[in-house]
């Protein structure tokens, strides 16, 4: 397992090859074109950092998501900070965090200050948001599908998933507890 982690780190670009401005602009782009927040942003981050920029491979992205899920705060912000830190250390994490936050901050500031008082009761605005809800759900579902394919060939991972899904849905356990159970099952199943 230790070799696998080392191999993943070796696949990342070196710090000298990824300028801070590129990190900032990449996450500005992600933040500017994301609606719904939370898990809805994952397909966009995944597409950008794995397929377009090739900063992280699919396995590395799964590792980032595991860490992201165990931290308090926004999924998008946590994910951006981790990617930025992997690329350029703490300053890279800060650049990525600023990139992901600035578009939302400016949009909210504009909406609250100027647009909200004018369109708050607009039937057209309500219709747009009504249509965005299922679109966000579709993005989340597609992310679940893509992430599921990453471990579909691993029998023990599938057993852990099949065990934890009903536990989570039926018992309505806190997500941190479900993650802790997954970690415990991982320790029990994957020790050699």
CA–CA separation, 151 and 171 (whole Å): 24
Residue 130 pLDDT: 85
Whole-structure pTM value:
0.61
Structural domain boundaries of the chain? 2-119
Low-confidence ranges of the chain (pLDDT < 50): 1-10, 14-15
For residue 6, the model assigns a pLDDT of 42
> 39-69, pLDDT tens digit by residue?
778 888 989 999 999 999 988 998 998 888 8
Rounded CA-CA distance 35/65 in Å is: 19
Alpha carbon distance 192, 190 (integer Å):
6
161-171 per-position pLDDT tens digit: 888 989 888 99
Tell me the DSSP string of 30-71: HHHT--S-GGGGHHHHHIIIIIIS-SS-HHHHHHHHHHHHTS
Residue 5 confidence (pLDDT): 42
């Amino acid at each position: 397992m230790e070799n696998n982690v080392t191999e993943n780190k070796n696949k990342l670009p070196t710090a000298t090859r990824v300028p801070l401005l590129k990190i900032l602009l990449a996450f500005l782009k992600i933040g500017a074109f994301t609606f719904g927040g939370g898990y809805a942003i994952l397909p966009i981050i995944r597409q950008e950092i794995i397929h377009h920029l090739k900063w992280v491979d699919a396995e590395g992205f799964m590792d980032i998501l595991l860490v992201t899920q165990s931290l308090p705060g926004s999924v998008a912000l946590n994910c951006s900070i981790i990617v930025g830190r992997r690329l350029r250390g703490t300053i890279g994490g800060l650049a990525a965090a600023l990139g992901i936050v600035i578009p939302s901050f400016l949009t909210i500031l504009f909406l609250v200050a100027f647009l909200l008082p004018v369109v708050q009761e607009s039937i057209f605005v309500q219709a747009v948001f009504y249509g965005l809800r299922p679109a966000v759900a579709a993005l989340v579902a597609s992310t679940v599908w893509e992430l599921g394919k990453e471990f579909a060939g691993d029998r023990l991972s599938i057993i852990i998933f099949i065990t934890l899904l009903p536990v989570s849905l039926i018992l309505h356990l806190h997500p941190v507890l479900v993650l802790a159970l997954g970690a415990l099952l991982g320790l029990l199943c994957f020790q050699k």
